[in-house]
Amino acid sequence: MYAAIVSPQEDLFMAVRPGQRRGMSLPAPFYTELLDASEAGSPVPEWFAQGALRQWGIDLTGRRVDEALVVRRPAVGPVTYSRATYEINKGCNFSCEHCYLEQRPFAGLPLAGKLQMIDLLAEMGVFWFQITGGEPLIDPDFPATYTHAHRAGMMIEVLTNGSRLARPQLIELFRGRPPHKVTVSLYGASPATADRLTRTKGAFKTMHAGVVAARAAGVPVELTIIITRHNAEDVDAMRALADDLGVPRKEYAMMSPTYTGTAGPLDAQAPGFLDGGFLESEAPGALDRGGSFDACPAGHTFFHIDPHGLATMCKIGRDNPINLLTEGPHGLLRLPAIADAQMLRTGGCTGCTLASTCRVCRPLARIYQEAKAPLHTYCQHGERTPA
């Protein structure tokens, strides 16, 4: 199994190792040397072996490049993207009130379609790849899909509720082909709280068992603490649980409408956890130095794919989807313009004189407006924002 991935990423050449935050930025001649050495079956160059030892504590001395590394070729075709998220299946074995998916049908591409899509993504240069749902681990094609993406040299993050994570076949999959990380949602510090929030008996027990099993197997795990009105009193206990499990944690407390603009999930909002009353884009780099929402890269450097292979700018902005399997990469030539159109300040934001300092993701603000949500739940300026 390979120890690290070397890949072009936009205008750079990167060397990374799944599960590790540290990496190496390579000059173009060094990347070319590794690519040539991989094709020739030559040993890992001394300079790379020293860098790997320094960055990741692994010894690659004497190993062949084609055995120790995946050296990805530059992207081919009319478009290139470095990141993608994939909703492998909207089906879920939990029934959370706060879910942003209004409906969760268990449906999607057949396995052949999933693998074809992974091949297309690899050809376009997708390097950072997130698999989500629904609950991705309940999809019967998840192991084969994950393995195909891993072989392609993608840095994979899996978003899961953790309920299936302890299953031996999944533990062995992740042990043998390590993801960059598995991010597990934490819904409570006890069975009573977590089971109530997820409306699923045994949710806490299976999640906890999954995290423990993954940690024991050396799988990189993180926890996202989900804060709602059902578990707000457990926040400190959830933080303590994450620390006791020895895993990094982050928190998510802003409830949003469904991406189709229905207000149901807003009922789960915990009072006191709006934290400033604004929501930012999921896209890295969406905020400029002045703190305003500007030049979001969604649709430009990354995009989202739904269970049927329909590509959109992100998980929220789903206007004018492009069928990736029937249109291929050429179809994505339209995506930047589709994304830019969704970033216009329209609807309830039309004419706002504070737009130059706005930090709110426009597609997300739109679904709040469609859900007729109170202004303070999504606008950083609150009731002071001019109509």
Residue 291 scores a pLDDT above 50 = no
Do 263 and 312 belong to one domain?
yes
CA atoms within 13 A on the CB side of 28: 3
The token duo for 238 is 């959830």
Q: What's the pLDDT at 319?
A: 93
- What is the domain-level CATH number for residue 186? 3.20.20.70
Q: Are residues 300 and 278 in the same domain?
A: yes
Residue with tokens 């057949």: 110
**Residue 77: inside a domain:** no
Cβ partners under 8 Å of residue 151, min gap 6: none
Domain identity same for 181 and 294: yes
What is the average pLDDT across 365-373?
A: 88
- Among the three residues 26, 50, 71, which one is the final residue of a domain in this structure? 71
How far apart CA 24 and CA 51 sit, in angstroms, is 8
For the chain, give the percent of residues with pLDDT over 90: 71
| C-alpha–C-alpha distance, residues 81 and 128, integer Å | 10
Residue 106 confidence class, pLDDT cut points 50, 70, 90: confident
- Per-residue pLDDT band for 383 (boundaries 50, 70, 90) equals low
Q: Does residue 175 fall inside a structural domain?
A: yes
242 and 104 in a common domain: yes
- Whether residue 59 sits in one domain with residue 93: no
256: containing domain: 83-340
Q: Residues in the chain, how many? A: 387
Q: What mean pLDDT is predicted for residues 120-129?
A: 95
User: What phi and psi, each to the nearest 5 degrees, are found at residue 242?
Assistant: -60, -45
Examine the domain organization and report whether 118 and 14 are in the same domain. Answer: no
Q: Bridge-partner residues for 302, per DSSP?
A: 83, 298
How does the average pLDDT of the chain come out, rounded? Answer: 89
Residues 239, 336, single domain; the answer is: yes
30 and 54 co-located in one domain: yes
Q: How many domains does the chain have?
A: 3
Burial state string for 204-237 with b = 16 or more CB within 10 A and e = fewer than 16: bebbbbbbebbeebebbbebbbbbbbbbeebbee
112 shares its domain with 169? yes
Statement to judge: residues 235 and 328 lie in one domain: yes
Say yes or no: 102 and 248 in one domain: yes
For a pLDDT cut of 70, what percent of the chain falls above it? 92
